[in-house]
Chains A and B, each alone.
Chain A
Amino acid sequence: MKLSRIFAIVEIETKEIVRDPVTVAVALLIPLVMLFLFGYAISFDVDNVAMGVLDHDRSAESRALVDRFLASGYFAMAESYQSAIEAETALQRGAVTLALIIPPGFADQLAGGEPAPVQALVDGTFSATANLVAAYANAIITGFGVQTAPPIEVAARVWYNPALRSVNFVVPGLFGVILMAFPPLLTALAITREKETGSIQQIFASPVTPVEFLSGKLIPYGLIAFLQIVMVIAVGFLWFAVPLKGSLGLLFGVGMIYVFTTVGIGLLVSTITSSQLVAMLLTLILSLMPSFLFSGFLFPIFTMPYVLQLYTRLFPAQYFVDFSRGVVLKGAGLAELWPSVLLLLTYTLVIFALAVWRFKKKVA
């Protein structure tokens, strides 16, 4: 292995990239666009849920119950109804997510110390939100009836993301996903393009070894990917005000390892495909799709069937998503997160070794 040959390849690849402004723009702008879109669009927070009320009782107590709902901040009054049919159609139309039905005699029953039944109808089409809405409604209604202090007081504290802001959870996960989206694609295309134009034949018939060639390709695209991660992390902290509990240096350091994992996947894809189109599709299937589905970025892995959980372990994005959330939200360090880091490192080395093994200096 000769460093001078690796540098020669790094040099021409860098020039080729820089002279194609479209690629540079795509590489640097699209991650930001993705970060903004996902940062704003993906939210599991429940607030301002539209509610409708059918109040048969029309008493001071029934109005107090409705006020309690509105005062919680989770609900907003959208409509009030005269009949159960109206409430039902409102749910069906999707005009409200919660319909509260207060039966006649509600105030009398409360005054008499009897259990006073109240009905809360929740639109369950989107189950995650429905659960939360039902739970909130339940808590408000239960608390309304009880005047005395309960015998056991639960002091629940949410750690790591006390404000329960979705963006705090989404953005550190996005660091892992965005880096899986573009660097592998750019790298895979860079090598298959040489196969299509035939310029790779000049490399074959030269002293350049597979390790040298692949390293020379890895470095410039690794740098672009690193630039992406710096940009994305900066925007995450400065714009979305995600709190950073752990060490920024550690985040960048392991980010660098992860960058080489993602670029390595691109290299591996390019060694087994011969056209840019196939390389592109294969990269999307191997990197982008699993990073969305199987990284725990949006869908928690522990709820998946066991076999599928094992399958998700094949894709490296989840190690980085775990790591990134650990550092950003929990303030964890290497002492806690070393398994993820070790796995990423191993993964990168294996991928690169596979690519070198697959890359033959032969035309067929």
Chain B
Amino acid sequence: MATNDMVIEAEGLGRRYRSVLALSDIDIEIGVGEIVGLVGPDGAGKTTLLQLFAAILDPSEGRCQVLGHDTVNEAAQITSKIGYMAQGFTLYDRLTVAENLSFAAKIRGVPGGDYMARRRRLLDMAGLTPFLDRREGALSGGMRKKLALCANLIHEPPLLLLDEPGLGVDPLSRRELWQILDDFRSEGATIVLSTSYMDEADRCDRVAFLDRGRLMALGRPDELRAQAKGLVHSIVSDRPAEAEAALHGMAGVLGIQWRADSVRFVMKPGADISQDEKARMDALGQLALAEPGMEDVFTILRGDESVPGEAETAVATRPAARAATGKTGEIATKGLTRRFGDFVAVGDVTLTIAPGEIFGLLGANGAGKTTLIRMLCGLLPPSSGSATVAGVEVTSDQGQLRQRIGYMSQRFSLYPDLTVGENLSFFASAYGLSRRDAREAIGWAVEMTGLGGQHGEMVARLSGAVRQRVALGCSILHRPAALFLDEPTSGVDPLARFRFWRLIRILAEGGMTVLVTTHNLEEAAYCHRLGLMDMGRMIAIGDLSALRAHFPGRELATAEDVFLAFMERERARPQSERAAS
């Protein structure tokens, strides 16, 4: 046994589910007071590893000691001490905030006096004090996550295991989550968490990259980024599409990221940019080395996997494949409002989105984004105001509207027990495509989304990232003029995200209007314009630099900083003024 200050010691740890090896050969030691982030694509084994640490899953190979106890023989000692927050919402939704907390305290034997003091402190930090008597199920997603964290901290555990704590949580709530974590860590606790947000990975002391059940890398974020130094380049160009096309043909390119004013790309370690290629790129714009981020580290560790499929590359450059819909997908609203009783879910939104534009809708959980999308899709009638989508009044002809729009909801509405092909065929017939048109459309959508060869796979067995592309394929089969995407990339790893956004851009270049919501503000860079929503109102519209200009003299580096600045300003305004405007 190693020194006593190790909280977790795993040796050759692995877990098999029947014939599938979910995790194998994991060696890791985690010391007191560390924050360790687990990062990796879907199905890499992050959840399995956390469950093994929590002693609620027995390993099929290797062994693991947590807090000095063996996870198999002394599981009870481990589970009685730690805090473990599973993915999803795992509190009791019919119980109130206070009741959920009190239950957590009672089963862990927290004395009454300590309980009240800790509850006050935790709820204050989480901003949940005003909601003590509200049922958990009636809270927003961000609040539910914060409450779950509080429930796991009420016994002040020496080790906290968190499975995707930031999933589906808006940036504001996410920041509060992290404030609680930092505070807690400063008192000497150890934290292990899985995440698909690279900015969260950056905040960890050490990051563990998992891929297909194996530990690919483990180190401090700056160490990992240092490994990528010299491999990340950017071309600042006013013709980013051409720059990207040039990069696609180049050998040794691992990943390409498209930004508003530049194209970033990562080279394979050891690969060089030839003189010709350099000259070609210099002609397009300014080529320079870029500071590597965690996403770039991720790209390099994933290796060859990260290059988009050849079919996709081909399709991207073939003009015929670009979605010529023949209709213009302009979205225009005027004073669009939706009330539920006294509650204004969407208030007085006036907005015009041009054909071929990618418009990103940002806002906290419950800001009204989904309600707005549902109105534009004709799924929910507006209380007042008007909206026209692709030339159709949303309140008029539903049938015609449906033909012109595509909608992909938060929980990809696919049939898990059907194959990819069967799902596509079903949606084609649901859109009323003739058999011949359907075959053609499916062929196009499959090629577009890079699903070739996965026709016969059962959707239930696909990873989240592939499922997301199937869902996209299903929603564009009828070549809609306007496409609505509600948190399409939630919980998807960075590479799958790049790939997804590339598709979106290709569709937009073909003339499709795209309205997308996201909590991942790194993705704001992929949008032409952004709309910030708060409490049902559109508080700002514009591209990132225009939004930044609202705060002259302030250093707002990232989209997240800009977003939080707007939110702070809104929160600072008196309630009466906000209600009146």
Residues of A near any B CB (own CB < 8 A): 2, 4-5, 7-9, 11-12, 15-16, 19-20, 197-199, 201-209, 361-364
Contacts and interface: CB of A to CB of B under 8 A. Distances in A.
B106 A5 contact: yes
Nearest to A8: B106
B88 interface: yes
A202 B79 contact: no
14 contacts: A9-B107, A16-B94, A197-B90, A198-B88, A201-B56, A202-B151, A204-B79, A204-B84, A205-B54, A205-B56, A207-B76, A207-B79, A207-B107, A363-B57
A12 B103 contact: yes
Given A2-B109, A207-B109, A208-B107, A202 B86 contact: yes
Contacts of A5: 106-107, 109
Nearest 4 CB-CB pairings of A with B = A207-B80, A205-B84, A8-B106, A201-B86
A319 B95 CA distance: 39
B40 interface: no
Given A12-B103, A19-B94, A209-B76, 5 more contacts: A4-B109, A5-B107, A8-B106, A198-B86, A204-B79
- Name, among B54, B75, B76, B86, the residue most crowded by chain A CB atoms within 10 Å (CB to CB): B86
Given A205-B84, A361-B75, A8 B94 contact: no
Contact of B80 (A201, A206, A362): A206
A201 B90 CA distance: 8
A173 B216 CA distance: 66
Contact of A206 (B58, B95, B108): B108
Nearest to B55: A205
Given A205-B84, A363-B57, A16 B91 contact: no
Given A2-B109, A197-B90, A361-B56, A202 B84 contact: yes
Contacts of B393: none
- Name, among B87, B95, B106, B109, the residue most crowded by chain A CB atoms within 10 Å (CB to CB): B106
Contacts of A2: 109
A202 B58 CA distance: 17
Interface residues of B, number: 33
A15 B107 contact: no
Contacts, number: 84
Interface in B1-55: 17, 51, 54-55
Contact of A199 (B17, B54, B80, B92): B92
B99 interface: yes
A198 B92 contact: no
B450 interface: no
B109 A362 contact: no
A7 B56 CA distance: 23
A207 B82 CA distance: 9
Contacts of A208: 107
Contacts of A209: 76
A5 B57 CA distance: 23
A11 B161 CA distance: 27
A20 B106 CA distance: 23
A9 B102 CA distance: 11
B76 to A, nearest CB: 7
Contact of B17 (A4, A201, A204, A364): A364
B218 to A, nearest CB: 24
Interface of B: 17, 51, 54-58, 75-76, 79-80, 82-84, 86-95, 99, 103-104, 106-109, 151, 161
A209 to B, nearest CB: 7
Nearest to B157: A205
Nearest to A6: B107
Nearest to B163: A201
A245 B107 CA distance: 47
Nearest to A5: B107
Nearest to A213: B107
Given A16-B95, A197-B90, A202-B90, A363 B56 contact: yes
- Name, among B17, B80, B88, B92, the residue most crowded by chain A CB atoms within 10 Å (CB to CB): B92
Contacts of B87: 198
Nearest to B135: A19
Contacts of A364: 17, 57
A12 B109 CA distance: 16
Contacts of A362: 56-58
A12 B86 contact: no
Contact of B94 (A4, A15, A207): A15
Contacts of B92: 12, 16, 199
Nearest to A205: B84
A253 to B, nearest CB: 32
A8 B79 contact: no
A199 B90 CA distance: 4
Contacts of A363: 51, 56-57
Nearest to A204: B56
Contacts of A4: 106, 109
Contacts of B76: 207, 209
Contact of A361 (B79, B94, B103, B109): B79
A64 B118 CA distance: 94
Contacts of B106: 4-5, 7-8, 11
B536 to A, nearest CB: 29
A203 B92 CA distance: 11
B20 to A, nearest CB: 12
B99 A205 contact: no
A310 B99 CA distance: 49
A206 B109 contact: no
A362 B91 CA distance: 18
Contacts of A198: 86-90
Contacts of A12: 92, 95, 99, 103
A9 B58 CA distance: 26
Contacts of A199: 90-92
A315 B508 CA distance: 66
B8 to A, nearest CB: 15
Contacts of B56: 201, 204-205, 361-363
B99 to A, nearest CB: 7
A143 to B, nearest CB: 69
Nearest to B77: A207
- Name, among B56, B75, B76, the residue most crowded by chain A CB atoms within 10 Å (CB to CB): B56
Contacts of A205: 54-56, 79, 82-84, 161
A206 B17 contact: no
